[in-house]
């Protein structure tokens, strides 16, 4: 983007709110598109935070959905932030849209809660581990190398001067066994995470043992982003086909409840740290 990247955190918040309100108002995507004189695809892109929405279109949608005036003013204020440009992202067109969205969310977040049954969050990945995940064949093109560098840079949020990012991650024990990149890469990754846990008080990792009974997040990867008081918490369910974002209070509360379920069933942080270090010697 020649004029800089738009603020994704705010844009996703607006989109998630619009989708929730449209659903509650029982307005179809096609009807919303017709009211704006746009396509249903455009409305879908707005709701997923993939594209910006003008103040005029936002006002029209909020009126269509019956949002109260005070809440309309609050969302319009967030939209003004979404239109404010930020520093251009290094890497230009080589960086994929979902990578840009993730980077913006990490940069804006104060804390992240994360659960995944078989992989570590990007900010916890060593270079070799991230490289193996990004290129399972072992070959990185110049474009992919740029994306790798961009991805690794997100870990700087853990040590930024102003309000370092707090992350609480619950990882399935399978991640400790998976031979990502080979035995040495796996060992180094576990040592890397253990070192972060010991050196940074804002990093907490718990391991969910393989023999744990059923829980609410079986098969899911969930991330919960907490921002400042102006932007509500956002929950996302991550898949290889993309991310689905939720901002509705009940949906976010449910995601937090389910995260707490696996957190309580996981090993405590100190026992988990011992397990990471023990597995790193195998």
Decide: helix, strand or coil at residue 225.
strand
Is the pLDDT confidence value at 50 over 50?
A: yes
Q: How confident is the model at residue 4 (pLDDT cuts 50, 70, 90)?
A: very low
Domains and CATH numbers, the chain: 8-83 (1.10.260.40), 96-279 (3.30.870)
Quick one: pLDDT at residue 1? Answer: 29
Distance (Å, rounded) from C-alpha 237 to C-alpha 224?
Answer: 9
Q: What is the pLDDT of residues 99-152, one digit of tens each?
A: 766 777 888 789 999 999 999 999 999 999 999 998 877 777 888 888 889 889
- Quote the Cα angle for 113-117-122, to 5°: 55
Distance (Å, rounded) from C-alpha 81 to C-alpha 73?
Answer: 13
Is the pLDDT confidence value at 258 over 70?
A: yes
Query: Where is average pLDDT lowest: 75-84, 147-156, 174-183?
Result: 75-84
Say how many C-beta atoms besides its own lie within 10 A of residue 34's C-beta.
13
Say how many C-beta atoms besides its own lie within 10 A of residue 275's C-beta.
19
- Calculate helix-pair angle for 183-199, 269-279, nearest 10 degrees: 150
Say how many C-beta atoms besides its own lie within 10 A of residue 261's C-beta.
15
> Would you say 112 and 166 are in contact if contact means Cβ atoms under 8 Å apart?
yes
């Amino acid at each position: 983007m020649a004029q800089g990247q738009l603020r994704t955190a705010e844009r996703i918040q607006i989109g998630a709110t619009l989708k929730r309100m449209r659903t509650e108002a029982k307005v179809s995507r096609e009807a919303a598109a017709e009211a704006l004189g746009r396509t249903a695809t455009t409305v879908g892109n707005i709701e997923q935070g993939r594209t910006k929405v003008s103040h005029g279109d936002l006002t029209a949608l909020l009126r269509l959905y019956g949002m109260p005036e005070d809440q309309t003013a609050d969302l319009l204020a967030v939209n003004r932030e979404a239109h404010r440009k930020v520093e251009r992202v290094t890497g230009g067109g080589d960086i994929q849209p979902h990578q840009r969205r993730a980077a913006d969310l990490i940069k804006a977040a104060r804390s992240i809660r994360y659960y995944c049954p078989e992989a570590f969050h990007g900010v916890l990945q060593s270079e070799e581990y991230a490289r193996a995940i990004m290129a399972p064949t072992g070959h990185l093109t110049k474009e992919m190398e740029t994306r790798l560098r961009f991805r690794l840079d997100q870990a700087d949020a853990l040590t930024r001067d102003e309000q370092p990012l707090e992350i609480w991650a619950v990882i399935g024990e399978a991640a400790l066994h998976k031979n990502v990149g080979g035995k040495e890469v796996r060992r180094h990754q576990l040592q890397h995470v253990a070192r972060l846990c010991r050196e940074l008080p804002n990093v907490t990792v718990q391991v969910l043992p393989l023999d744990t009974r059923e829980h609410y997040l079986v098969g899911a990867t969930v991330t919960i982003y907490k921002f400042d008081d102006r932007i509500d918490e956002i929950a996302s369910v991550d898949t290889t086909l993309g991310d689905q974002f939720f901002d509705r209070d009940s949906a976010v509360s449910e995601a937090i409840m389910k995260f707490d379920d696996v957190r309580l069933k996981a090993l405590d942080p100190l026992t988990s740290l011992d397990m990471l270090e023990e597995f790193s010697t195998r």
